[in-house]
Amino acid sequence: MAERTYLGELELMLLLVLINLGDDAYGVPISRELERHRGREVSLGSVYASLERMEGKGLVTSELGEPLQERGGRARRYFRITQKGLQQAHETRQVLVQLWSEQPQGGAA
Partner 1 sequence: MKLAHSPSTPRILPPSSPPLLASLLFERFAPGEMHEALAGDLQEEFSHGRGRPWYWRQVLSAIFIGQSTQLRANWTAFLFAALWSAISPSLLFFEVHFVENENLMERIRQLASPWFTVCKEAIEVSAFFFILWIGLALYVSLHAWATRRGSMRRFARALLLTIPLFLRVWMAVAAITVLLAMAFPQRIFDLDRPRATLLQLIIAMAFSPATVVTFCTMVPSLCSSLPDRRSRRKSRVG
Residues in touch with partner 1 (CB under 8 A): 26-28, 31, 41, 43-46, 48-49, 51-52, 56, 58, 62, 64, 68, 70-72, 74-77
Closer CB to partner 1, 7 or 60, in the complex: 60
* CB closer to partner 1, 5 vs 103: 5
Shortest gap between Cβ of 97 and partner 1 (angstroms)?
Answer: 30
Considering beta carbons, is residue 9 or 95 the nearer one to partner 1? Answer: 9
Using CA atoms, how far residue 16 sits from 46, 49, 86, 109, in Å, is 16, 17, 9, 25
Of residues 17 and 105, the one with the C-beta less far from partner 1: 17
Alpha-helical segments (H) within 1-109: 9-21, 27-38, 44-56, 83-101
d(Cα 67, Cα 69) in Å, to the nearest integer?
7
Minimum CB separation of residue 68 from partner 1 in Å reads 7
In sequence order, the 6+-apart residues with CB closer than 8 A to the CB of 34 are 13, 14, 17, 42, 47
